[in-house]
A and B are shown apart, each in its own frame.
Chain A
Amino acid sequence: MTNPIQDVAGADFIFAIGTNTTESHPIIGLQVKKAVRGGSTLVVADPRKTEVAELAKVHLQIKSGSDIALLNGMANVIIAEDLYNKEFVAERTEDFEAFKAAVEKYTPEYVEGITGIAAASLREVARGYARVKNATILYTMGITQHICGTHNVFAVANLSMLCGHIGKPNSGVNPLRGQNNVQGACDMGALPAVLTGYQGVGLDDVRARFASAWGLESLPAKPGITVGEMLEGASHGTIKGMYIMGENPVLSDPDANHVVHALDKLDFLVVQDIFLTETAQLADVVLPAASFAEKDGTFSNTERRVQRVRKAVEPVGEARPDWQILCQVATAMGYPMNYASPADIMKEIASLTPSYGGISYERLEQGGIQWPCPNPEHPGTPVLHVGKFSRGMGKFNPVEYVAPAEMPDEQYPLVLSTGRRHFHYHTGTMTMRTGALEVYYGTEYLEINSADAAKLVICDGDKVKVSSRRGSVELSARITDVVPEGLVFTSFHFPEVAINRLTNPARDSIAKIPEFKVCAVKVEKTA
């Protein structure tokens, strides 16, 4: 996020696109509700009529995967009606002309044909966004989980720069991260092309600095491959061994059957986790890890706030904290790795990572710190891009609408979209074992519109089979107007409803994010 969570409540205008905030990020949802109570305008763009959509002044119930058309359409109106922030565009951005040209064809009428949103509504929302003092944009997976995910993000950024709603309080571009430490995993260089703090592996001086700190001659320069490419490589035999720590790709990745097949082909698979997950079951060696309550460390939340995790109890059985296991594996492989505690690891991170340079456990005792925090005196940075973008000038990246990779057809006439539920989390590994959450919300269902249900002669509670070109699952149907005609929805929390057997592994060409939000399916009544 460019801005802190607490900032949301102070925005005059909140544009939430592809985020079911109150269910997936309940506490950020509270900020949204607070803003609405205080008189701010809330606009929600989402194919589903979610709880947060019900709170909105305007709900743009767009067709799945048409976000770029919508965002470009808003830009079109704002430019056409001369509502954009000329000063900001002139002083702080570049490539405006190219952007202007690109959005020219996205007139509200043209956009209506793609998104299904009335031209008048689009105009109203665009004007609202442009005219207020502070407007914030919130988004999550609804934006990124498309083949055009990166372009969607560009479209969002373009819009905020156009109106100068960035680099100041109560505004900004705010992706809400789905997992506790996605931000931190990225910050720490758990990515193929960057080391900590997004320092590219391709840069000689960066590699040299890390190599010397790690006591090595050199480090590999060739950028690595992404999850999807790893699984692809495994199934083709180019990847022979994998080490998986605390992830469950069998359930979380698209086209689950393919993932199982790929992992099965590996010569050697190590999984380090707290439960024997669907992925761990495929492993050759499973290493028992400590849970968050059993170790010290830090998480970085979605607003870049680094916060302490503290050990409250001893690990169960012989489980060990992941950091200790990793040290032991390195040592066993002839590279001695020794740290007295995670605080020591953080010292090393700070010494190699400019944005974490001022972060230490001593300081974190006083509360979390938002990076960039380059030195011990620096207070941290709640709002990014104040006065200047990190790259200097803000660059407009014109993007074009492309249709989702798989559109409904005669054989698979419905669109399936997936997401989260309030009472559960991710692949359910934890939330199915709490003694409370799964008791209250124990079975998953398929949301289907009454019109579609009528066509298929499905009643509420009927068992149905949902199939795509890749697989099928069975679950019961819930007839609801939360989804519009033509769309069905369910979550990916429940192992017994392994919905990712159906989803499309088609990925965004830049960020390689799979298109979870759109795939073509058919629904049949079973019993």
Chain B
Amino acid sequence: MAEVTLTINGGQITVPQGSTILNAAQKMGVFIPTLCYDPELTIDGSCRMCVVEVKGARTLMISCATAATEGMVVETESPAVIEARKTILELLLANHPLDCLTCGRNGDCRLQDYAYRYGVKEGGFAGAMHQYPIEDDNPFIVRDMNKCILCGKCVRACAQIQGKNVVDYTYRGFDTKIAPAMDTTLAGSDCVFCGNCVAVCPVGALQEKVLRSKARTWEINKVRTTCPYCGTGCNFDLNVKDGKVVGVTSCDGDVNGRALCVKGRFGYGFIHHPDRLSKPLIKKDGQFVEASWEEALALVAEKLGGIRDNNGPDALAVLSSARCTNEENYLLSKLTRAVFGTNNIDHCARL
């Protein structure tokens, strides 16, 4: 494939033809802030956060949408670039609630990151502020359009990842807003609550309802795992705080990328449900009573051993589980065959 070589901040980099300046910079490890760009979505080029200075160009160029060309000379943090970014941030903050104090995305918010990086404390323009009601009439997602920076990523994620087109730009000018058709709530729309829009939102406009009310971003420990529901095998991060799973967020899964479905993303609540079994139970006179592990294991060994010895191994039967791990299915097969002495093992794969 044809390649081009360009200079970014004085260093040379060679990239395949067709790469953007942003791609090239990222490949070099040079940071360029972005708001509307996402590697999995079509390029929008609307936020202008990613502007850079290209030698010979009359204006600053949008790095996420400008192809790198042979011999190009780029500066990513020149005074003009910084000035432009500051202005963009000031404009955004002029119409942004200064809510980081309690915002669920505090600590993981691009607007905040960039404001800190460029030392923009608040909107330089005391502009009109939106006063949208916060939408939380569903148990999954909270939408606070006052915090929306109109990057349009949710619109593209819903269309291009989820294939749904639930949300889109509505109204015009200052009133522009992201909303489902007829400006209803998500609960009133076709939304399937996959949360894939939440996963791409760079700020706190879209938040996971429970996760973001239970923990601050910096208190969370993430553990990558595989979904316990359907057979697709999506990967995600369990978000853990104080020894409890408080939520699920996307990672870059082998199968699913960042996409998840409503069960995978919002179906973790059973883990700490009060109905969870926490002690062995033994039935005595038709009633369950709590027992110690020693007692329960001894009883199981005695009874199953008794049946095996008196009625023969084939009087025992075992159901393994399509929900348990490979290692556990293996061990149960081993237990059945090596200890019980029968091949009577099956599971509900057929169901």
Contact = CB atoms under 8 A, between A and B. Distances in A.
Given A307-B233, A308-B225, A440-B139, A293 B322 contact: no
A242 B161 contact: no
B100 interface: no
B245 A180 contact: no
Contact of B255 (A6, A26, A321, A433): A6
B272 interface: yes
The winner among B266, B269, B281, B324 for most chain A CB atoms within 10 A is B324
The CB with the most chain B CB atoms within 10 A, among A179, A183, A186, is that of A179
A487 interface: no
Interface in B170-205: 192-194
A193 to B, nearest CB: 7
Contacts of A106: none
A190 B231 CA distance: 17
B315 interface: yes
Q: For the side of the interface on A, what is the size category?
A: 35 or more
A244 interface: yes
Contacts of A494: none
A33 to B, nearest CB: 3
A261 B300 CA distance: 22
Interface stretch (B8-16, B125-133, B142-150, B234-242): B234-242
A463 B68 CA distance: 65
B315 A239 contact: yes
B351 interface: yes
A300 B140 contact: no
B333 A189 contact: yes
B319 A295 contact: no
Contact of A179 (B210, B230, B326, B332): B230
A32 to B, nearest CB: 9
Contacts of B270: 274-275, 291, 429-431, 433-434
Contact of B275 (A210, A275, A348): A275
Interface string A182-209: 1111111111110110000100000000
Given A245-B319, A440-B140, A316 B272 contact: yes
Interface in A419-441: 422-425, 429-431, 433-437, 439-440
Contacts of B313: 220
Nearest to A227: B346
A437 B262 contact: yes
B57 interface: no
A238 interface: yes
Contacts of B243: 313-314
Nearest to B303: A268
Interface string A296-309: 01111111011111
A260 interface: no
Interface stretch (A64-72, A87-95, A115-123, A327-335): A327-335
A247 B347 contact: yes
Interface in A251-280: 252-253, 267-268, 270, 273-276, 280
Interface stretch (A154-162, A398-406, A475-483, A511-519): A511-519
A345 interface: yes
Contacts of A268: 303-304, 307
A285 B299 contact: yes
Interface string A118-143: 00000000000000000000000000
Interface residues of B, number: 108
A216 B331 CA distance: 15
B327 to A, nearest CB: 4
Contact of A190 (B138, B230, B347): B347
A310 interface: yes
Contacts of A303: 233, 255
Give the interface centre of B192, B229, B277, B282 by most chain A CB atoms within 10 Å. Answer: B277
A195 B337 CA distance: 9
A24 B231 CA distance: 10
B255 A434 contact: no
A26 B194 contact: yes
A174 B166 CA distance: 30
A75 interface: no
Interface in B289-345: 293, 296-301, 303-305, 307-308, 311, 313-345
Nearest to A500: B351
A192 B345 contact: yes
A388 interface: no
Contacts of B348: 179, 227, 247, 249, 252-253
Contacts of B114: none
Interface in B35-93: none
A186 to B, nearest CB: 6
B326 A319 contact: no
9 contacts: A185-B329, A226-B350, A234-B317, A245-B321, A247-B322, A316-B276, A317-B279, A437-B263, A513-B350
The 3 closest A-B pairs by CB, nearest first: A317-B278, A301-B233, A297-B325
Interface of B: 138-140, 161-163, 192-194, 209-210, 221, 223-235, 238, 240, 243-245, 254-256, 259-263, 266-273, 275-283, 288, 293, 296-301, 303-305, 307-308, 311, 313-351
Given A220-B337, A285-B296, A318-B278, 11 more contacts: A5-B232, A191-B347, A225-B317, A243-B335, A246-B320, A247-B320, A302-B232, A313-B244, A317-B276, A337-B334, A348-B330
